[in-house]
Chain A
Amino acid sequence: MGHEEHEHVVLPQHRHHFETEEQQREAGSFGMWLFLLTEIMFFGGMFFSYLLYRNWYYPAFATASNTLNIWEGAINTAVLITSGFCMALGVYAAEVRKKGMLVTTLILTTVFGLIFLGIKYDEYHEKYELHHIPGNSFSVAQFVNPHAYGIQEEPLAPDMAQRTQIFFFLYFAMTGMHALHMIIGIALLLWLIKRAQRGDFTNGYVAPIENFGLYWHFVDIVWLFLFPLLYLINRHPLH
Chain B
Amino acid sequence: MSAQTIVSLPDQSTAKMPKRHYINNEHGLLSWLLTGDHKRIAILYLISITFFFFIGGAFAGLIRLELLTPQSDLVAADTYNKFFTMHGIIMIFLFLVPSVPATLGNFLIPIMLGAKDLAFPKINLLSWYLYLAGGIFTLTALVLGGVDTGWTFTTPLSTHYLNTHVITTALGIFVAGFSSIFTGLNFIVTIHRMRCPGMTWFKMPLFVWSHYAASLLMVLGTPVLAIALVLVLLERLFGIGVFDPTKGGDPLLFQHLFWFYSHPAVYIMILPGMGVISEVIATFSRKRVFGYSAVAFSSVAIALFGFFVWEHHMFIMGVSNYSALVFSLLTMLVAVPSAIKVFNWSFTLQKGSITFETPMLYAFAFIGLFTIGGLTGVFLGALGMDIHLTETYFIVAHFHYVMVGGMLMAFLAGIHFWWPKMTGRMYPESLSKLSAVTSFIGFNLTFMPQFILGYLGMPRRYAAYPPEFQVLNVLSTAGATVLGVGFLLPLLYLGWSLKYGAIAGNNPWQATGLEWQIQSPPPTENFLETPIMDHEAYDYEWLANKTKHEVTTVG
Minimum CB–CB distance from A5 to chain B (whole Å) comes to 11
Cα(A39)–Cα(B222), bound, Å: 10
The answer to whether B241 touches A38, judged by C-beta atoms less than 8 angstroms apart, is no
The answer to whether B121 touches A17, judged by C-beta atoms less than 8 angstroms apart, is yes
A136 interface residue, CB < 8 Å from B? Answer: yes
Minimum CB–CB distance from A164 to chain B (whole Å) comes to 10
Stretch from A26-34, A92-100, A183-191, A195-203 at the B interface: A26-34
8 Å CB interface, B255-287 against A: 256-257, 260
The answer to whether B228 touches A166, judged by C-beta atoms less than 8 angstroms apart, is no
A52 interface residue, CB < 8 Å from B? Answer: yes
8 Å CB interface, B105-126 against A: 115-117, 119-121
Instruction: Give residues in A with beta carbon < 8 Å to B.
Output: 15-19, 23, 26-27, 30-31, 34-35, 37-39, 41-46, 48-49, 52-53, 56-57, 134-136, 159, 162-163, 165-166, 169-170, 173, 177
Minimum CB–CB distance from A175 to chain B (whole Å) comes to 13
8 Å CB interface, B92-149 against A: 115-117, 119-121
Question: Closest 8 CB pairs between A and B?
Answer: A45-B227, A42-B223, A17-B117, A17-B116, A41-B223, A134-B240, A135-B238, A27-B119
The answer to whether B194 touches A23, judged by C-beta atoms less than 8 angstroms apart, is yes
B247 surroundings in chain A (CB, below 8 A)? 162, 165
The answer to whether A38 touches B194, judged by C-beta atoms less than 8 angstroms apart, is no
A-B contact pairs, 15 of them (CB 8 A): A18-B194, A31-B120, A31-B189, A38-B181, A39-B223, A41-B223, A45-B260, A162-B248, A163-B248, A165-B240, A166-B240, A166-B249, A169-B234, A169-B238, A177-B230
Cα(A52)–Cα(B251), bound, Å: 13
B239 interface residue, CB < 8 Å from A? Answer: yes
**9 extra A-B contacts, CB within 8 A, seeds A42-B227, A134-B240:** A18-B194, A26-B193, A52-B250, A57-B248, A159-B248, A169-B234, A169-B235, A169-B240, A173-B231
Instruction: How many A-B residue pairs have C-beta atoms within 8 angstroms? Tell me.
Output: 103
B192 interface residue, CB < 8 Å from A? Answer: yes
Most buried by B among A23, A34, A170: A34
A177 surroundings in chain B (CB, below 8 A)? 230
Minimum CB–CB distance from B90 to chain A (whole Å) comes to 24
B152 interface residue, CB < 8 Å from A? Answer: no
A31-B189, A37-B219, A173-B234 given; A166·B242 CB < 8 A: yes
B240 surroundings in chain A (CB, below 8 A)? 134-135, 165-166, 169
8 Å CB interface, B133-189 against A: 181, 185-186, 188-189
B4 interface residue, CB < 8 Å from A? Answer: no
